[in-house]
């Protein structure tokens, strides 16, 4: 009989192979800012759509969405500076200006990429939602539409019941168990969603993270940033997202504006585009492609 440990290891090997295959189908592009390299990946053809990962993340936060969206869009996925395969920007990890420099790096990167030049869409997840909003309001690149999924920076109430485990103090199988527990406590609502791909993407991205985003994510920057944003905005949360009370903070960020829309996805936690990938792919395709708000 196969041991649970052996079965688990086989699943991890298979998930790693799948992620490597997905990465190999994309085209790598490097951009530069202040002597540091940012790694971008491109899939698909069509209108330009930038997908920005969350804190302790990488392009793999969008692993379940690439195939579904690349048939309609030219996707651009960065590992933000200090994440994944990208260099960390010069300076102290807790430099109070680190967020401005991160935004400057990504804005410079957008100007260096071979985009169509017809205006872009940006979708950001979690900390990447805050980044996407900052990019949309500071970069000279015209952002036609914006979607924020499980966005950070709202400053509203959280409902996370348990603290995350410090996986750095563990080794071997115990470390994988710590990552799985953290996925359950923060990222995914249904424990069945914690599969080998989610675990591997989360663990690899966490290990590679050098940027300190937590304090920035918990700050209430987003409402003031969005106050200056005049174009179409879509807010998406999983109904069980522990980082927010979606209906309450959603109303605040909608700010009574007709061109802003809120969609709460059922049976999903914080990592909504992974846990309900098909539904989110449809929502994003309609928003960026058909220019229609999703039915709430």
Provide the terminal-to-terminal Cα distance of the chain, rounded to the nearest Å: 48
What's the length of the chain? 296
Mean pLDDT of the chain: 94
Rounded Cα–Cα distance for residues 157 and 284 (Å): 26
Secondary structure (3-state) at 27: strand
Nearest of 70, 58, 38 to residue 200 by alpha carbon: 58
Q: Which domain holds residue 38?
A: 4-115+141-290
Mean pLDDT to the nearest integer, 9-15: 94
Match 């330009």 to its residue by tokens: 48
Is the pLDDT reported for residue 6 higher than 90? no
Q: What is the pLDDT of residues 211-225, one digit of tens each?
A: 999 999 999 999 999
Q: Is residue 28 part of a domain?
A: yes
pLDDT in tens, 18-42: 999 999 999 999 999 999 999 999 9
Tell me whether residue 128 is in a domain. no
Residue 88 token pair: 């960390």
Task: Single out the residue of 92, 93, 101 nearest to residue 214, CA to CA.
Answer: 93
pLDDT in the model for residue 140: 65
Assess contact for 18 and 165: CB atoms under 8 A.
Answer: no
Percent of the chain past pLDDT 70, that is, above it, reads 97
Instruction: Name the band, by pLDDT with cuts 50, 70 and 90, for residue 108.
Output: very high
Number of structural domains in the chain:
1
Q: Is the pLDDT of residue 12 over 60?
A: yes
- How confident is the model over 243-268, as a mean pLDDT? 97
DSSP per-residue codes, the chain: ---HHHHHHHHHHHHHHHHHHHHHHSEEEEEEETTEEEEEEEE--SSEEEEE--TT--GGGGTTTHHHHHTTSEEEEEE-TTSTTSPPPSS-TT-TTHHHHHHHHHHHHHHHS---SS-EEEEEETHHHHHHHHHHHH-SS-EEEEEEES-S---------SPPP-GGG--HHHHHHHHHHHIIIII-SSGGG--HHHHHHHHHHHHH--S--HHHHHSS-HHHHHTT--SEEEEEEETT-TT--HHHHHHHHHTT-TTEEEEEETT--SSHHHHTHHHHHHHHHIIIII--PPP-
With respect to residue 242, please indicate whether it lies within any of the assigned structural domains.
yes
pLDDT value of position 4: 65
For the stretch 116-170, pLDDT in tens is 877 899 999 999 999 999 999 987 668 889 999 999 999 999 999 999 999 999 9
pLDDT of 2 strictly over 60: no
Instruction: Look at residue 213 and tell me if it is in a domain.
Output: yes
Q: Return the pLDDT at 5.
A: 77
Strands of the chain, DSSP E: 27-33, 36-43, 48-52, 74-79, 120-125, 143-149, 232-238, 260-265
Residue 235, domain CATH = 3.40.50.1820
Mean predicted confidence (pLDDT) in 257-286:
97
Tokens of 188: 């995914």
Which pLDDT band holds residue 1 (cuts at 50, 70, 90)?
very low
């Amino acid at each position: 009989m196969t041991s649970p440990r052996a079965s688990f290891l086989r699943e991890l090997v298979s998930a790693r192979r799948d992620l490597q295959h997905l990465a190999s189908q994309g085209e790598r592009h490097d951009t530069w800012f202040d002597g540091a390299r940012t790694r971008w990946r491109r899939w698909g053809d069509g209108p330009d759509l930038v997908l920005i990962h969350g804190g302790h993340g990488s392009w793999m936060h969008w692993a379940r969405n690439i195939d579904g969206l690349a048939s309609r869009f030219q996707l651009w996925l960065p590992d933000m500076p200090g994440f994944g395969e990208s260099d960390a920007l010069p300076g102290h990890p807790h430099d109070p200006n680190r967020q401005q420099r991160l935004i400057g790096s990504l804005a410079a990167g957008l100007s260096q990429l071979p985009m169509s030049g017809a205006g872009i869409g940006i979708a950001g997840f979690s900390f990447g939602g805050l980044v996407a909003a900052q990019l949309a309001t500071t970069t000279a690149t015209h952002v036609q539409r914006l979607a924020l999924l499980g966005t950070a920076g709202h400053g509203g109430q959280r409902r996370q019941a348990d603290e995350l485990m410090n996986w750095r103090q563990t080794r071997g199988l115990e470390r994988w168990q710590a990552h799985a527990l953290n996925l359950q406590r923060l990222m995914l609502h249904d424990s069945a969603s914690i599969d080998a791909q989610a675990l591997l993407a989360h663990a690899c991205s966490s290990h590679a993270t050098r940027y300190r985003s937590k304090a920035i994510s918990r700050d209430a920057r987003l409402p003031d940033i969005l106050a200056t944003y005049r174009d179409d905005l879509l807010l998406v949360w999983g109904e069980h997202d522990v980082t927010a009370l979606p209906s309450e903070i959603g109303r605040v960020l909608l700010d009574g504006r007709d061109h802003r829309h809120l969609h709460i996805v059922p049976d999903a936690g914080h990592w909504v585009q992974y846990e309900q990938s098909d539904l989110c792919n449809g929502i994003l395709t309609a928003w960026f492609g058909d220019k229609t708000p999703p039915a709430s």
